[in-house]
A and B are shown apart, each in its own frame.
Chain A
Amino acid sequence: MAKLNILDRLRDCIAALDSDCVNKAIKEALDSGIKPAEIITDGISKGQEIVGEKFQKSEYFLSELILAGEMVKESLQILKPHIGQEKVKTRGKVVIGTVEGDIHDIGKNIVIMLLQSRGFEVIDLGVDVPKDDFIQAVKEHQPQILGMSALMALTAPVMAEIITGLKAISLRDKVKVIIGGAPITTEFGASIGSDYQTTDAYDGLEKCLEWVGS
């Protein structure tokens, strides 16, 4: 009961964006002997999930979403020395980046925050990522999902080259491909052979959850 109370409080502190309260709840959880993995999945992630939902309902905006992301980073820093060999269970692995020629990252970063809030491990390749780096990352990390972002119509066609590159080394069937960004349309996605395309971060998150069976 006490354990549940502490983790619920931690969840609520994250959702309320109160970092002092978060730090206090984490300390209390550790002092009570709750495992770091449980603190992350049943406290921090649940709080992040609420923040994501509030963002979707326009109760929170970008400031709050980013602040929650920063609070989670700080929380993980506190937990790091206690994690040791303990495995934190993830929902799935996503490799994501903004394609070559495009250095817009806010949309991509919103998606990353939402994915992390729902327990995905995210490998962020950054912005202006050469197409070979996407292919190499899929080869190396073997993610369930590859996400590509582009804000400019001029750079979006690079996504087609990456999908072709994955086919060439027989990796296309091993990964779901989701693309996003302002100029992306269903028609464009279909023409390049992506599995899903969206201009909405939350919609993208829901598709990823569906793919990993959550």
Chain B
Amino acid sequence: MNPRERILTVLRGGVPDKLPLVAFDRHLLQGVKEREARNRGLGLLCYRPCYTESMPNVDVTTRSEGNLMIRTYKTPVGSVTEALRVGIGYGQAVLGRDWQGVIPRRKQFLVRKPEDYKVLKFIVENLHYKPYYYAIEDQMKRLGDDGIVIATLPYSPLQRMLIELVEWTQFYTGLVRNKEPIEEIYEILEKRYEDELFPIAADSPSEVVWYGDNIDSILVSPPLFEKYYLRTYAKCAERLHSKGKLLNVHMDGRLKALAGLIEKANVDIVEAFTPPPTGDLPINEALSVWKKKSIWINFPQSISTLMGTSPDKVKKYLIDQLELMIPGERVMLVLSTEQRVPDDSMMAMVEVMEKATLPLSNRVIEDIRSS
């Protein structure tokens, strides 16, 4: 099987020849080892937009100050400003990332005081979406059978407020003390997505549509997840499923406290599931709770990248994880969802995964361990 066949077989509930090993294309720098890894079965997940976003009636101006990108949104009801710290090489690579594939980090949010909500409300009321499929179509042609192309969405409504729009003290205290503007903006944003964005995503050429939500139970508590996320995932999935697409949500944090609710969520793929020591839910427990979901496992960077790592440590960790996945259904392994991993660690994963034939059994694991 080629990488694309492996990935799609997993997504359709089947059993491929081997457990797929994949990498986010934006975090995989080209080179000798990368070519060797791909020749030995490493597949690619390519993330591309399926829409353009506009906000007529809002005047947006951007200026730079050192490594800060400062953007002001001027509306008839007032102005708000955000500041983002950009990394080296920002703007010289694709998709608004620096040379390491890292997006700009937010230093200042649009909403920092209660009065800013009215400006944000005006902005979200003026958001509009149009289809843009060229990036996906173009990458699909280039990629061939080396992987799949995934259509991206913005953060889901409440997560967008939390990660991109509202300063976090304001956001969290607001959820207890001043819920009205947060809920009002959430409703407007969700309706806008429902009316304009979800149909665009459902009609995109990709098989998989992605919410990059970075779900973590500390930031998104079970009551929050239940109230604001289940509903929006359900609406999105319903639309996508009607056109045969799958909903993929990036959940790279500590998920133990959310495990039961995630099972209830109408989400097809739990992406970037990160096992201990970074996450708090072991893969065998996740597989037993999420019985119908595909789990894309993020190899923890604390093992693959951080000081003190070695190919032997990477192999040992990976083999131990494989043992927890027996018989290896519904899963695939992602090299990293953050920055690139060292070549030695990548090749250690390739070496193990090319022997991870399915169904996984103690015997397969033993053969890998002794090879």
Instruction: Name which residue of chain A comes closest to B280, CB basis.
Output: A199
Known contacts being A61-B223, A66-B169, A128-B85, is A183 close to B300, with CB within 8 Å?
A: yes
Smallest Cβ distance from A182 to chain B, in angstroms?
5
Please state if B173 and A70 are interface contacts (CB–CB under 8 Å): yes
Contact partners of A199 in chain B: CB under 8 A: 277-278
Q: Give the one of A153, A156, A157 with max B CB within 10 A.
A: A153
Within 8 A of B (CB), among A142-201: 152-154, 156-157, 160, 182-185, 187-188, 191-192, 199
Mask: chain B, 86-102; 1 = CB below 8 Å from A; 0 = not:
00000000000000101
Instruction: Name which residue of chain B comes closest to A192, CB basis.
Output: B307
Contact partners of A62 in chain B: CB under 8 A: 172, 218-219, 221
Range class of the A interface residue count? 20 to 34
Instruction: Name which residue of chain B comes closest to A159, CB basis.
Output: B307
Partner of A182, one of B106, B278, B307: B278
Whether B204 is near chain A, meaning CB under 8 Å from some CB there, is no
Whether B338 is near chain A, meaning CB under 8 Å from some CB there, is yes
Whether A63 is near chain B, meaning CB under 8 Å from some CB there, is yes
Please state if B177 and A67 are interface contacts (CB–CB under 8 Å): yes
Please state if A153 and B172 are interface contacts (CB–CB under 8 Å): no
Range class of the B interface residue count? 20 to 34
A192-B302 Cα distance, complex, nearest whole Å: 14
Please state if B306 and A152 are interface contacts (CB–CB under 8 Å): no
Smallest Cβ distance from B186 to chain A, in angstroms?
15
Whether A42 is near chain B, meaning CB under 8 Å from some CB there, is no
Whether A64 is near chain B, meaning CB under 8 Å from some CB there, is yes
Contact partners of A153 in chain B: CB under 8 A: 301-302, 305-306, 338-339
Partner of A188, one of B221, B222, B307: B307
Whether A76 is near chain B, meaning CB under 8 Å from some CB there, is no
Within 8 A of A (CB), among B212-241: 218-219, 221-224
Partner of A185, one of B100, B219, B224, B306: B306
Q: Give the one of B85, B100, B102, B277 with max A CB within 10 A.
A: B277
Known contacts being A63-B221, A66-B169, A188-B307, is A183 close to B176, with CB within 8 Å?
A: no
Whether A209 is near chain B, meaning CB under 8 Å from some CB there, is no
Please state if A67 and B172 are interface contacts (CB–CB under 8 Å): yes
Please state if B169 and A70 are interface contacts (CB–CB under 8 Å): yes
Residues on A facing B (Cβ under 8 Å):
17, 58, 61-64, 66-67, 70, 103-104, 106-107, 110, 128, 152-154, 156-157, 160, 182-185, 187-188, 191-192, 199
A61-B224, A103-B106, A183-B302 known, 17 other contacts, Cβ within 8 Å: A58-B257, A63-B173, A63-B175, A67-B177, A70-B173, A107-B218, A128-B85, A153-B306, A154-B305, A157-B306, A182-B278, A183-B278, A185-B277, A188-B306, A188-B307, A191-B307, A199-B277
- What would be 13 A-B contacts, judged by CB atoms less than 8 Å apart? A61-B221, A63-B173, A66-B168, A67-B177, A70-B169, A103-B85, A103-B105, A110-B218, A153-B306, A182-B253, A183-B305, A185-B302, A199-B278
